[in-house]
């Protein structure tokens, strides 16, 4: 099945769910890149924040109003956030961060009343598998790495927040336990495991249809 077609279907369905006057967090990745023109075409009055420079530039080029999400003067909550996924489990766990933007993506998802995930059907998996993206503080990096098994650094420039992008390659059999274990290592800024409780709805393009599930219900 054509993943691009399925991503576009999910993106179209998500664009139709956005209402006038919404404060909206825009994710990062190729599915979001398909979503942005569909959103802009609706001509709604929106206030947007972006999870990456790429998304910010694409959104602005389409005429969407993007505002900063840094500092105490910025929006402190959002109505909605929409983003892609790398893997989606049956239980609604989502792995994100193949593009290295998972920290900002998780902050935006958590700030939103509703977080929608849009994806093609190949992102649904029977079992979650590595890698799990990580963002690590440069300060004390060697000491942080000594406390983390099976982690490799990505050959990427620093994140927009000045941090190091890495990947955890161990098993993901118990995502809740792994999420806790990764979060409790000082120096781990964020990991790419998004729990079902964070996800309001998943829209998956499947052939010529869009399947919608609500993991947190
Ligand atoms: C970036 C992400 C992306 O949302 C994820 O990698 C999915 O990307 P795509 O829509 O290109 O398949 O988490 O950090």
Residue among 159, 135, 149, 153 nearest 181 (CA): 149
76, 158: one domain: no
| Dihedrals phi, psi of 27, to nearest 5 degrees | -75, -160
Burial status of residue 195 (CB atoms within 10 A of its CB: 0-12, 13-18, 19 or more): middle
> Is residue 93 in some structural domain?
yes
73, 176: one domain: no
187, 110: one domain: no
Domain containing 166 — which CATH number? 3.30.70.260
Output the average pLDDT for the chain.
97
Total domain count for the chain?
A: 2
Atom of ligand 1 nearest to the CA of 33: 10
In this predicted structure, what is the pLDDT of residue 216? 76
109, 17: one domain: yes
> Is residue 213 in some structural domain?
no
Q: How far is the CA of 194 from the centre of ligand 1 (A)?
A: 13
Atom of ligand 1 nearest to the CA of 102: 14
pTM for the whole structure: 0.97
51, 113: one domain: yes
97, 184: one domain: no
Q: Tens digit of pLDDT for each residue in 167-196?
A: 999 999 999 999 999 999 999 999 999 999
> Is residue 217 in some structural domain?
no
CA nearest ligand 1 atom 2, residue:
97
Contact 180, 95 (CB under 8 A): no
Tokens coding 45: 């009055």
Range(s) of the domain holding residue 168: 132-192
Residue 128 makes CB contacts below 8 A (sequence gap 6+) with 87, 89, 93, 95, 172, 175
Sign, Cα dihedral of 10, 11, 12, 13: positive
Q: How far is the CA of 27 from the centre of ligand 1 (A)?
A: 8
**Of these residues, 6, 56, 58, 105, which one is catalytic?**
105
In which residue ranges of the chain is pLDDT below 70?
1
Q: How far is the CA of 85 from the centre of ligand 1 (A)?
A: 5
Q: Tell me, yes or no, if 105 is annotated catalytic.
A: yes
């Amino acid at each position: 099945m054509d993943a691009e077609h399925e991503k576009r279907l999910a993106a179209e369905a998500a664009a139709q769910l956005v209402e006038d006057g919404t404060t909206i967090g825009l994710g990062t990745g190729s599915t979001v890149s398909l979503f942005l023109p569909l959103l802009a075409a609706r001509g709604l009055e929106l206030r947007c924040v972006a999870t990456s420079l790429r998304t910010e530039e694409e959104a602005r080029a389409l005429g969407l109003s993007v505002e900063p999400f840094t500092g105490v003067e910025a929006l402190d909550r959002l109505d909605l956030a929409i983003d892609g996924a790398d893997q989606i489990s049956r239980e609604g766990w989502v792995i994100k961060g193949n593009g290295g933007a998972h920290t900002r993506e998780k902050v935006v998802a958590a700030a939103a009343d509703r977080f929608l995930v849009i994806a093609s059907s190949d992102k649904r998996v029977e079992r979650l598998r590595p890698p799990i993206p990580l963002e690590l503080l440069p300060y004390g990096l060697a000491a942080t790495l000594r406390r983390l098994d099976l982690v490799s650094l990505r050959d990427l420039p620093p994140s927009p927040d000045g941090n190091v992008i890495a990947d955890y390659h161990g098993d993901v059999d118990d995502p809740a336990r792994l999420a806790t274990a990764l979060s409790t290592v000082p120096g781990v800024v964020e990991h790419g495991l998004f729990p079902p409780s964070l996800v309001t709805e998943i829209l998956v393009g499947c052939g010529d249809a869009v399947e919608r599930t609500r993991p947190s219900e």
